[in-house]
Structure 1
Amino acid sequence: MSRVAVIGAGSWGTAMTGLVAPAVNEVVLWARTPEAVAALNRDHRNPNHLPDYTLAANVSATSDLSLAVCDADAAILATPSAYLRETCRSLAPHLAEDARVLVLSKGMERGSHLLMHEVAAQELGNPTRVAALSGPNHAEEICRGMVSAAVVASENAETAAFFQGILAGPTFRAYVSDDVRGVECCGAVKNVIAIACGIASGMGMGDNTLAVLMTRGIAEIGRVVAALGGDPMTCMGLAGMGDLVVTCTSEHSRNRSFGRALVAGETLESYQARTHMVVEGVPASASVLELAQERGIEVPITAGVHAVLFEGRPIGDAMEGLLTRAPRTEFYGMEEREIASKEKQC
């Protein structure tokens, strides 16, 4: 491997340069502004994200997309989900046809209901070269060399194995999966559940309540995964339960901390401006709910979060609505996977 481009200089993109740097000759980090690029190349630190982390010696930065991916063997996309299509469209003329692509963005496109690997494949072509990464990975801990793990999912086994090879290291374990739809769906919906957990924490609710939200959240994610033709068992792995636990409980979680800030009266705009981070669970609540309503999938937690964020429903009323729902069997709705799989084959 000679050259890998990391597109997006947020926390995760910055941390990703450190994971792949030992496996390649050169890593090029694309940042949006010339000011950030100048600081990255001058100080070898990111002035806006993880400022105490020193980039590896073989990492350089540019704000020119064509230069970033010139002669690159692979591109790792670490942009917010809302900007992924635009970014891929700009990359398409410059990225080599055989360069592999790893998507780190977590979300579901509104309107089309496409997952992020599908958006990338649609704009860049050759779906077999595209993979997605998901798991319980806070950039703050990865940069400190703490043990972490993730799952690399692709419809193509060679593509998954390729990225597994350049990511795996002494403190980062990379597993592979062919259930890319299940892995990506988990990554999108868990951010919504994390906002709900942040709200519950901000309201002073206890550990029991958070455990209920997380486990019912896994069931909710499972119904969406099943409806999209994924494997509900994926929800029990790194992309599902692993990522859900860390996103719902960690102080590093932007979705959880936003939920707490929301209870305290802070707006989304204020929170994102203060933290310089995008709360992916907010747009995901809209796209997932839209999909659920079209497909007849029950997503009460997502619906409650959406009602608070977009419909003006008081937080207390939304939480009460969740608690007064009549309980059903624990894992209803998962049988829809078989139906969805048959429809896909037809």
Structure 2
Amino acid sequence: MMRQRIQSIAVYGAGSWGTALALQLARNGLDVLLWDISPEHVDNINRQHENAHYLPGIPFPDNLRCSSDLQAVAAFSDYHLVVVPSHVFRGMLKNLAPLLTEKDAVIWATKGLELDTGKLLHQVLEEELPQCPAYGVVSGPTFAAEVARGLPTAMTVAANEPALAQRVVEAFSAANYRAYISADVMGVELGGALKNVLAIAAGISDGLGFGANARVAIVTRGLAEIMRLGVKIGAQPETLMGLAGVGDLILTCTDDQSRNRRLGLALGQGKGLDEAIADIGQAVEGAKSALSIGKLAEYAGVEMPICQQVYRILYEQLPPRQAVDELLSRDLKAEF
């Protein structure tokens, strides 16, 4: 049985997002142990008492430490927050599987789908950690640097058990941080995955110099794609119209803190995919999600023309301007 309040938590992934969430939880009084696969990265964090590589100048409180010993980190708490890129999510769970039992609750802040299968991450977790019945996801319009600096933020916590959602919301919530409870794990996951691909589209449009009208059209029609797919596979429409859906979509499509938007800007300005990702220097989830969303959309029988064109730009060398021309030349039809 889970404790009434979360006292400690293990966080997996010492990138910018994992570190920012660890900072928020530690500032709220939880004992936090942050894991990363790189001993060198861990040593630098512990020596400098900050994540100088991703979030320089933001000191760690004394109750936030870092380790590369996975077994020790897994034994640290009954609560586990996974914040690794989506393409290594299953591998992370496989490594945790022999270390966790039914008393452990697993939450993730990873945004994306499984690359090869198009599966939602809760489906991956159910396959790899069947011994952990309680799970949830945190998502919403949040940039890591702003969370790390303690700026006002709101997000959604969805879990398959209401008690777990309540405890996670309490763990994150503070004067600067508003967390909302949801039971729609699928909807929260879907919003977080699809908005990254659409942010690439918005960035491409701006990189081509197409202006505010085109950007808003992409956001609006992109939301229609999210809603079509979400409703078809069983997500709740109100979730997709909330923080984890339209909120996150607007954020990532309109602010250059978004790595996905910056990737699109570079592509629209003529850079190649590999060069653009190398310049950004961190994982760009939308580039991976563009591969897997097509599988999910095909399975569901849902048309997603903007996401499809992003995929073709990324992986079929379709020129961005031609992609836009093809979107604009589609058959005329009613908006709804």
Q: Same fold (TM over 0.5)?
A: yes
SS in 2 for 1:181: helix
Out of 96, 99, 106, the residue aligned to residue 104 of structure 2 is 99
Q: Which moved more, 1:259-268 or 1:304-313?
A: 259-268
Match of 1:233 in 2: 238
Provide the C-alpha distance between the structure 2 equivalents of 1:327 and 1:139, rounded to a whole number of angstroms.
40
What is the alpha-carbon distance in structure 1 between the residues aligned to residue 332 and residue 195 of structure 2? 21
Cα deviations by residue, 1:203-258 (Å, 9 ceiling, x for unpaired)? 11111111110010110000111121111222110011100011001111000000
Number of the residue aligned with 2:174: 169
Query: d(CA) in 1 for partners of 2:267 and 2:98?
Result: 41
Cα distance between partner residues in 1 of 2:271 and 2:35:
31
Match of 2:308 in 1: 303
1:25 Cα deviation from its structure 2 partner: 4.3
2:197, 2:289 within 8 Å by CA — same for their partners in 1?
yes
Task: Look up the SS of the partner of 1:93 in the other structure.
Answer: helix
Aligned runs of 1:139-288 on 2, under 5 Å?
139-288=144-293
CA distance 1:64–1:266, change in 2 (3 Å): farther
Q: Write the distance in 2 (CA, Å) between the matches of 1:132 and 1:34.
A: 27
C-alpha displacement at 1:327, in angstroms?
3.9
Alpha-carbon offset, residue 265 of structure 1: 3.0
May I ask how many residue pairs the two structures share in their alignment? 331
How far apart are residue 140 of structure 1 and its match? 0.9
Structure 1 CA distance for aligned equivalents of residues 123 and 28 of structure 2? 27
**Alpha-carbon separation, structure 2, partners of 1:315 and 1:272:** 17
- Give me the whole-angstrom Cα distance separating, in 1, the residues matched to 2:298 and 2:119: 15
Q: 1:67 to 1:272 in 2, by over 3 A?
A: farther
**Paired residue for 1:88?**
93
CA distance in 2, matches of 1:155, 1:127: 11
TM-score, normalization by structure 2: 0.94
Per the alignment, residue 21 of structure 1 pairs with 26
Contact kept in structure 1, 2:87 and 2:115, CA below 8 Å: no
AA aligned to 2:25 is V
5 Å matches for 1:6-17? 6-17=11-22
Give CA deviations for 1:167-207 in whole Å, capped at 9, x if unaligned. 11111110011111111111111111000000000011111
8 Å Cα contact 1:301/1:322 also seen in 2: yes
Q: How far did residue 324 of structure 1 move?
A: 1.7
Q: Which runs of 5+ in 2 are unaligned?
A: 1-5
Q: SS where residue 164 of structure 2 aligns?
A: helix
Shift of 1:268: 3.0
C-alpha distance in structure 2 between counterparts of 1:60 and 1:245, whole Å: 34
Q: CA RMSD in A?
A: 1.5
Which amino acid in 1 is paired with 2:186?
A: R
SS at match of 2:203: helix
When structure 1 is superposed on structure 2, of 279-288 and 103-112 the one drifting more is 103-112
How many Å separate the matches in 2 of 1:200 and 1:37? Answer: 39
Q: Secondary structure at the match of 1:70?
A: helix
Which residue of structure 1 aligns with residue 3 of structure 2?
none
Residue 330 (structure 1) aligned to one of 310, 332, 335: 335
* TM-score between both structures, scaled by the size of structure 1: 0.92
Measure the CA separation in 1 of the matches of 2:156 and 2:200: 23
| Alignment-mate amino acid for residue 198 of structure 1 | G
1:341 alignment counterpart: none
Shift of 1:68: 1.1
Deviation track 1:9-59 (CA, whole Å, cap 9, x = no partner) reads 111001011111134442111112111111111111113211121122211
Instruction: Please give the alpha-carbon distance, in whole angstroms, between the structure 1 residues aligned to 2:30 and 2:186.
Output: 32
**Superposed, which structure 2 residues align to 1:29-44 within 5 Å?**
29-44=34-49
| 1:319 and 2:319 aligned | no
Counterpart residue number, 2:58 = 53
Q: Secondary structure at the match of 2:98?
A: coil
State the identity as a percent: 39
C-alpha distance in 2 between matches for 1:25 and 1:239: 25
Aligned residue runs from structure 1 range 121-140, under 5 A? 121-126=126-131, 128-140=133-145
Can you give the 5+ residue segments of structure 1 that lack an aligned partner in the other structure? 332-346
